[in-house]
Chain A
Amino acid sequence: MHSGGFSRRDMHRMARSAGSRNNARRSDLEMTTLEEVPETLQGQLEDLLESEEEIRVAISTDLQFNGTYGTDWVLATEKRLLAFNQNGAPTPEVRNIALEAIDQIEIRELHGNNYMKVRTSEGAFEVARYSKRFAPKFAEATPEIEALIDKIKPEEAETSKRHRKYVDAGKNKTRCETCGRPIPRWSDVCPNCVEKGKLLVRLLRYAIPFWKVSVPALLIMLVIRLVGVYPPILSKTLIDDILVPATMAVTGGQPVDSGAFGQLLTIVLMMVGAHVFTAVFSAVRGYMMTWVGQRITLTLRNDAFQHMSVLSLDFYQQRETGNLMSRITQDVGRLRDFIAEGLQDIIGDSMALVYMCIIMFVINWQLALWVLIPIPLIILFSFYFGHKMHKVFHVLWRRYAGISTILASTIPGIRVVKAFTREKYEVDRFQEQTYQVFDGEMNAAKLWTLYQPIMTFLTYIGTVLIWLVGGRQILNGELTLGEITLFMTYMTQFLQPVRTLAQMNRRFLRAATSAERVFEILDTAPSVASRKDAIDLPNMRGQVEFRDVFFSYDSEKNAINGVSFTTKPGEMIGLVGHSGAGKSTLINLVTRFYDPSEGEILIDGHDSRDIELRSLRGQIGVVLQDPFLFEGTIADNIGYGKPEATRQEIIAAAKAANAHDFIVKFPDGYDTTVGERGARVSGGERQRISIARAILKNPRILILDEATSSVDTETESRIQEALGRLIQGRTVFAIAHRLSTLKHANRLVVLKEGTVDEIGTHEELIAKGGTYANLCEKQTELSKIRAW
């Protein structure tokens, strides 16, 4: 299987694209998964199907029921479902189930494989077993089969339980949509499909504004490289025109030419001059290009962050923080390196090589060819060796990381280690790791200590070749001593630019991928944005109406499933329900972190999408369960939403939030820095600072998301008191698990699976004896325990 014809990998790729091809052909009909059925099955099918029957869905598996890799088939026509299960037998066993008999199709998601199961009123049959690789395909095909069943039994279509959850295929993008290849974990874009040429052009656009600096810098470099090949020529002249004639004169007993020393001095001065020139202009050019590079970084980094701050929450939800951070820090840096240095290096190094080749070939083309012979050898060797070294050092690096891991877990955990007297175990573990590092270092040394001598030897071969061939030419009078010296020098100068150019491809690929990652940020359009004709709503009254609101985070399952209710201005609404019931989602919709997929949210009678985002969010205040404070002082944090606030206002807000008393006890008072994420103040203090922040903003709509769930009882009562002051005269949405927190609420909305289960005052709902009454009863029991 492995060696013959198509590999399994090819077949997977074909299978993926085959589906879409067939879809295109059948675009007049419904889109279905229809793979090419092999000939062996075609024969069997003729006996099984009626004359007018047509195959509508055909999917293959990659596993068989006996747990071996292999292909089984599930087919569906308008009338029946057919399952072909090979199971190691010569002909597959066929299961023929009339669609009419099918109650439900189930997908069992297990570890490392899934099953498709068909349930009828009498029994159930497993019809397909497949690996996780095929899970998206089956998730797509299952509703297609269900649609066929619904056509036969339309009366059940509405009520049946056939519509259930499918594999979430879209959320984590693991494979490229274009080529089907895996996307590496460190990247979100497919490195294979990056259009390198286009990216390069786009990148260069960032360099264009600085052409007044970069073009002269490029010219300087070309001159530097030209001057750089000059000293060996001077040496040649020195030897051939001055030193050799002088030696000959001395050995022949003749007086040395009197002007010789003057010539010698001139050449030496020219040599010094060339080096000084190169040094000075290299420095100047280096400074210029650094400036260009840093300007590009500055623009790109600020553009990216500025655009990122405009993007909606869904963008952040789909990506890891670390990943986004590295785009702004590392990828931008890599781009700078490429635009500023990489491109110029290519030009400069190529030029240097061309200069040297021309000179060598002009002087003596035969010898020039000989000089070029060992170069590829040296390049190949250093590549091969570099590859090996990379592997060895990678292993070593991981072992060092192992040491850090042990230390990072043992040192903070030292109390546990001592309490359970596991010192010896930890020491042994550490020793084992350090021995591994020792082995790794010695392995690296084996390679490294070999590298230098071999490299020297290879270079030496080149030298020997020049001595041999060039020496013979000298004996024949075809070459001078100065020329052979020149060849020697050039041979050593040749290596460096060749190596740089050889690594260029790699550098270019990395830069292209980085560019794609940065441009992805710049090219994403925010999903929630103000409309062009959006209105300002400066004095909101705070009436919020939900009208048939539906919302889904991943277009798979609705988080909000048709919610309608209206709040009066100044009313406090308590949102109650299990986790996942949709409480936080509802709040995310009010703040327009997301927009509803269907229905609308009206604020004072205006569709929230018609209101200017700044105007809307400017009048909404939020207090979260784990409030986020920024690095800075307490005063900065309280004033975050109102930068022009006076000191007096800040103190007033802190007093209203019951925060003033603890703040003045800090030695630095309001100037106390809270540390990263507010780490230097306690949870309850953080909470009260965030309440002060919300009070100062004076919002019309206030959102309290579990504002008191993570503090002790006494702090809670202080926060409750502060909140009591904060909610007066505002429309409030409060989420709380502890129902006692909602005692101020005018009405309670009980959510269940994204819909409104109950709505009413505390007394009404208790009297009703439904979900809320039930919850209340349970919590009363709990609070008795807590009190005790």
Chain B
Amino acid sequence: MEQPIQIEDEVQFLDPERLKISRNQFAELEAELPDGSVHAPVEPVRTFPLTQPDQYISLLDAHKNELGLVEDINQLKEADRTILADELEKCYFMPKITKIHDLAGRFGVTEWDAETEVGSVSFDLRSRNDITSLDRGRILIRDIDGNRYEIVNYHKLDPKSITLLETQI
């Protein structure tokens, strides 16, 4: 009788030792795969952008076909890791909010003035549904233009921010 498939075998990660990532003259990501083939432009995609941002990175070619999966970017050689991490930072811009200065709402729209790790920002939401509460006080926000913001744990914000935020969640 045949054995059932081992599902672990179905995923092959790219060998971090034999993967080369560089940037070409057109500022595109270029990847040399373990089989020796070279691809550019390569687009890295986080498969778990919210929960595992540095693991299971899918590399796509120009036609959005998957070239392979990187199990953990920290296994890569330092030079490769820097380039990939830099590109991922570009592709996923989601500032972390550290303080809420003001939050005013009218007709269901809310206008936020907040401090993030990368500077102060103001943005608008069209409804409460644009705020997603996850486990352990984590909050994701998507504003009217499609920008995204994150609050790592809202219980750890200052009391004023918490009071303002709790009117919305």
Q: Which residue in A68, A122, A174, A175 is a CB contact (below 8 Å) of B118?
A: A68
Collect the chain A residues with CB atoms within 8 Å of residue B123's CB.
133
- Does A184 lie within 8 Å of B108, measured CB to CB? yes
Collect the chain A residues with CB atoms within 8 Å of residue B126's CB.
174, 182-185
Collect the chain A residues with CB atoms within 8 Å of residue B106's CB.
191
Identify which of A110-118, A195-203, A245-253, A299-307 touches chain B: A110-118
- Write 26 A-B pairs (CB below 8 A) sorted by A numbering: A9-B113, A12-B122, A63-B93, A67-B89, A69-B118, A69-B120, A69-B121, A70-B119, A110-B91, A110-B92, A110-B93, A113-B93, A115-B90, A123-B27, A124-B26, A132-B143, A132-B146, A135-B146, A174-B145, A182-B109, A182-B111, A183-B126, A184-B109, A184-B126, A185-B127, A187-B108
Is B47 part of the binding interface, using a Cβ–Cβ cutoff of 8 Å? no
Is B162 part of the binding interface, using a Cβ–Cβ cutoff of 8 Å? no
Collect the chain B residues with CB atoms within 8 Å of residue A457's CB.
none
Instruction: Name B1-50 residues within 8 Å CB distance of A.
Output: 25-28, 49
Collect the chain B residues with CB atoms within 8 Å of residue A174's CB.
126, 144-145
Instruction: Name B83-116 residues within 8 Å CB distance of A.
Output: 89-95, 101, 106-109, 111, 113, 115-116
Is A409 part of the binding interface, using a Cβ–Cβ cutoff of 8 Å? no
Given A2-B120, A184-B126, verify A112-B109 contact (CB < 8 Å).
Answer: no
- Does A124 lie within 8 Å of B90, measured CB to CB? no
Collect the chain A residues with CB atoms within 8 Å of residue B120's CB.
1-2, 8, 69
- Does A131 lie within 8 Å of B145, measured CB to CB? yes
- Does B25 lie within 8 Å of A132, measured CB to CB? no
Q: Interface size class for chain A? A: 35 or more
- Does A122 lie within 8 Å of B146, measured CB to CB? no
A67 nearest CB across to chain B (Å): 6
- Does A67 lie within 8 Å of B93, measured CB to CB? yes
Is B124 part of the binding interface, using a Cβ–Cβ cutoff of 8 Å? yes
Q: Which residue in B90, B109, B145 is a CB contact (below 8 Å) of A133?
A: B145
Is B51 part of the binding interface, using a Cβ–Cβ cutoff of 8 Å? no
Collect the chain A residues with CB atoms within 8 Å of residue B91's CB.
110-111
Q: Complex formed: what's the CA distance from A126 to B26 in Å?
A: 9
Map CB proximity to B onto A501-518 as digits: 1 under 8 Å, 0 otherwise: 000000000000100000
Given A68-B119, A184-B109, verify A112-B127 contact (CB < 8 Å).
Answer: no
Is A7 part of the binding interface, using a Cβ–Cβ cutoff of 8 Å? yes
Is A391 part of the binding interface, using a Cβ–Cβ cutoff of 8 Å? yes
Output the nearest chain A residue to B123 by Cβ-Cβ distance.
A133
Q: Which residue in A70, A112, A123 is a CB contact (below 8 Å) of B146?
A: A112
A176 nearest CB across to chain B (Å): 10
Instruction: Name B115-150 residues within 8 Å CB distance of A.
Output: 115-116, 118-127, 129, 143-148
- Does A9 lie within 8 Å of B27, measured CB to CB? no
Apart from A2-B101, A112-B147, A132-B147: 5 A-B pairs, beta carbons within 8 A? A8-B120, A67-B89, A67-B118, A182-B111, A186-B127
- Does A124 lie within 8 Å of B28, measured CB to CB? yes
Q: Complex formed: what's the CA distance from A623 to B45 in Å?
A: 41
Instruction: Name A117-143 residues within 8 Å CB distance of B.
Output: 117, 119, 122-126, 129, 131-133, 135
Which residues of A come within 8 Å of B, CB atoms?
Answer: 1-2, 7-9, 12, 63, 67-70, 110-113, 115, 117, 119, 122-126, 129, 131-133, 135, 174-175, 181-187, 191, 391, 395, 513
Output the nearest chain A residue to B149 by Cβ-Cβ distance.
A112
- Does B93 lie within 8 Å of A7, measured CB to CB? no
Collect the chain B residues with CB atoms within 8 Å of residue A182's CB.
109, 111, 124-126, 144
- Does B27 lie within 8 Å of A126, measured CB to CB? yes
B93 nearest CB across to chain A (Å): 4
* A/B pair count, beta carbons within 8 Å: 107
B5 nearest CB across to chain A (Å): 20
Collect the chain B residues with CB atoms within 8 Å of residue A395's CB.
166
Collect the chain A residues with CB atoms within 8 Å of residue B167's CB.
391
Q: Complex formed: what's the CA distance from A80 to B110 in Å?
A: 41
- Does B26 lie within 8 Å of A119, measured CB to CB? yes
Q: Complex formed: what's the CA distance from A67 to B116 in Å?
A: 11
- Does A175 lie within 8 Å of B144, measured CB to CB? yes
Given A7-B113, A69-B121, A174-B144, verify A112-B93 contact (CB < 8 Å).
Answer: yes
Q: Which residue in A8, A122, A181 is a CB contact (below 8 Å) of B25?
A: A122
Given A9-B113, A182-B109, A184-B107, verify A111-B26 contact (CB < 8 Å).
Answer: no
Collect the chain B residues with CB atoms within 8 Å of residue A1's CB.
119-120
- Does B119 lie within 8 Å of A186, measured CB to CB? no
Output the nearest chain B residue to A509 by Cβ-Cβ distance.
B107
Most buried by A among B101, B109, B125: B109
Q: Which residue in A9, A117, A175, A183 is a CB contact (below 8 Å) of B122?
A: A9
Collect the chain A residues with CB atoms within 8 Å of residue B113's CB.
2, 7-9
A512 nearest CB across to chain B (Å): 11
- Does A9 lie within 8 Å of B111, measured CB to CB? yes
A130 nearest CB across to chain B (Å): 10
- Does A133 lie within 8 Å of B147, measured CB to CB? yes
Collect the chain A residues with CB atoms within 8 Å of residue B146's CB.
112, 132, 135
- Does A183 lie within 8 Å of B27, measured CB to CB? no
Output the nearest chain A residue to B129 by Cβ-Cβ distance.
A185
Most buried by B among A9, A119, A125, A191: A9
B23 nearest CB across to chain A (Å): 10
Given A126-B27, A132-B146, A183-B109, verify A8-B93 contact (CB < 8 Å).
Answer: no
Collect the chain B residues with CB atoms within 8 Å of residue A117's CB.
27
Collect the chain A residues with CB atoms within 8 Å of residue B28's CB.
124
- Does A181 lie within 8 Å of B109, measured CB to CB? yes
Q: Complex formed: what's the CA distance from A1 to B118 in Å?
A: 13
Q: Complex formed: what's the CA distance from A388 to B46 in Å?
A: 42
- Does A111 lie within 8 Å of B144, measured CB to CB? no
- Does A123 lie within 8 Å of B26, measured CB to CB? yes
- Does A191 lie within 8 Å of B107, measured CB to CB? yes
Q: Complex formed: what's the CA distance from A123 to B126 in Å?
A: 41
- Does A111 lie within 8 Å of B101, measured CB to CB? no
Given A9-B122, A174-B144, verify A112-B92 contact (CB < 8 Å).
Answer: yes
- Does A7 lie within 8 Å of B27, measured CB to CB? no
Collect the chain B residues with CB atoms within 8 Å of residue A391's CB.
167
- Does B107 lie within 8 Å of A187, measured CB to CB? yes
- Does B118 lie within 8 Å of A186, measured CB to CB? no
